[in-house]
Each structure stands twice: as C-alpha cells, then as structure tokens.
Amino acid sequence: MAQVLSAHPQVKATLVLLLSMLSLAAGGKLLVVPVDGSRWLSMQEVLDALRQKGHEIVVVAPEINIHIKPSENFIMKMYPIPFTKEEVDGSIHSFSQDVFEEGSFLERFLKIYWRLKNISAISLSTCAHLLYNKELVRYLEESKFDVVLTDPVIPCGQILAEHLSVPSVFFLRVMPCGLEFEATHCPSPPSYVPRIFTNLTDHMNFFQRVKNLIFDISNYFLCDFVFQPYAKLASEFLQRDVTVTDLLRQASIWLMRLDFVLDYPRPLMPNIIVIGGVNCAHKKLPQVGHAPFLIHALTGGI
C-alpha cells in the first residue's frame, strides 16, 4: 500500500482529508455505506489504508451482494433483503452492458430507462430494509461514529448520516443527471459541459449547444423517476420533508474519481476533490502501451 500511496499523490492527499475529519488523538470510527459493483472496488482501497492508520471501520451491506465481502480490515454488518443473488447480479450486469451499448439516443434512453426501473426497485427496497432494521440501526446509533463514508448514487448512506447526525464524505465517480452540480451549486452551463449520451466535447457550436440543452431535459425526467422514491423514503424515515438534493447538499466533502486526462475540464467547488488516481491502485500500466488498454487501466475497467 505504501507503494500505491507514493505513486499516486492524489490518493495520499485524499486520505489526509479523510483522516483530518476523524479524531486527532486516537483512531476514529468510520461508518461505510457502499454501493455494490465496481464502485466498491475503489472504495475498498481507501478503507484498507485507513485501517492501517488505526481507524475502526464498520461496513454495512446487504447479505446478497456481488463484491462486498468480509475483510480483516473492517467489521462487516449485514442485513437481509428479499432478493436472490441471481436477481441482484442480473440487474447490475444488464445495466452496465446497456450503458456501453451503441445505438441512437432514443434506443439507448429507452433501454436505460427500463433497466433503471428494475435496478431502482431493488436498490430502493434494499435501502428500506436497512433503514427499518431496528436492531442494526440501534447498533449504529450506539456506536457513535465520527463520519459516514458513502457513495451518493444511492442516497441511503446520506439518509443514515442525517439520522445519526454525523458528517458525511461522498466517494463517487459521477451522479446521474448532473445532481452533483445542483447539490453543490457548481456551474454546469450546457454551452460548455457536455451531457451524457451526446458524444459532444467541451467545444460546441450553436446547434450542438441546442442539442446539449435538449438532452439535459431528458436527464431531469430520469432523475425525477429514479430519485423521487428516495425522497419519499427519507421523508418518512427522518419524519420531515426532504428532497434528494437537500440530502446531497449536507455532504462535507465530495471525493470524485475524475481524471481530466479522460474527463473534460469543468468548474468545481472547493469541497469537490478530484481523486482519479485511486482508480490505478494495484494496476500495472504499460511503459509504452496501446491506448485502449491504457484507458481501461486508468478507469479501473469502468
């Protein structure tokens, strides 16, 4: 791990930021509410480094998952969900395939719409089973955590952070529909920042800007469809009216796995920290390699 930290200064700086939020006199207590799939793999690298610094880590995950397995570096707290492993695996793998498939905008939009409908139903139910697991939530309340580390693409971790009155740190690659821009009040002009599925760059002519704006409207439709149920669940659980954007705005730090070698430059707010280097942990890059392999390695296969 020391070699990884020395090879990637961004990763080291990120860990310093995380550690600064914990107790300075002794190891802090970190609650982790991850998202399964490839998003967990990069997060686990950070947890391993934090454990070596003496911090106590508790990871909360459903009993049925793909990659989140017990480790000597953290305490695993699992809870039951009403789905089989085949259902969970199928929803995540099918969605990943559809995202990278080629085709017209309408074809890709409809495919992702139906996949999102399926995966959102599973994710929402999983979140509800966590929040309403009285024994587990009582344990979390009594544990007195210092900070919650979570991936906000599923805002369940932030709902827990609000319930526990604990500061939160977000660890993510990207949010659907540009919610990270809205939640952080970060500028995101359609004349400059290309939207998903447009295949545009940050240099657009007038007609491309119009196209970018039109695509943005469809994103809001998807976001309302995907995240509105979480707003309802959060309002019921926290016993006050909240929106998903309200929840996201409470994050202290956004650790974003971006790399402007691969991602277009864009305006960022002070609490957004770019940590693209964490994707390269434990990956050997070729000295003089082929572009496709290099891109795959840099992005962690995502």
Question: What domains can be seen in the chain, in order of their start residue?
Answer: 2-298 (3.40.50.2000)
Beta partners for residue 255, in sequence order:
171, 273
- Reading the block at residue 248, the tokens are 């996201």
Amino acid 1: pLDDT: 45
> What is the value of pTM for the model shown?
0.78
Give the DSSP H or E segment for 93.
Answer: helix 85-100
Q: Which parts of the chain are beta strand (E)?
A: 29-33, 56-62, 75-79, 147-150, 168-172, 253-256, 272-274
Q: What pLDDT shows up at residue 23? A: 44
Nearest to 129 by CA among 208, 64, 44, 52: 64
Residues in the chain, pLDDT under 50: 1-6, 23-25, 288-302
Q: How far is CA 110 from the centre of its chain?
A: 23
The Cα 148–Cα 160 span in angstroms is 8
- pLDDT at residue 225, as a whole number: 76
pLDDT of residue 42: 85
Identify the CA nearest to 57 among candidates 41, 46, 65. Answer: 46
Per-residue pLDDT, 134 = 96
pLDDT at 98: 58
Q: Say if residues 163 and 130 touch (Cβ distance below 8 Å).
A: no
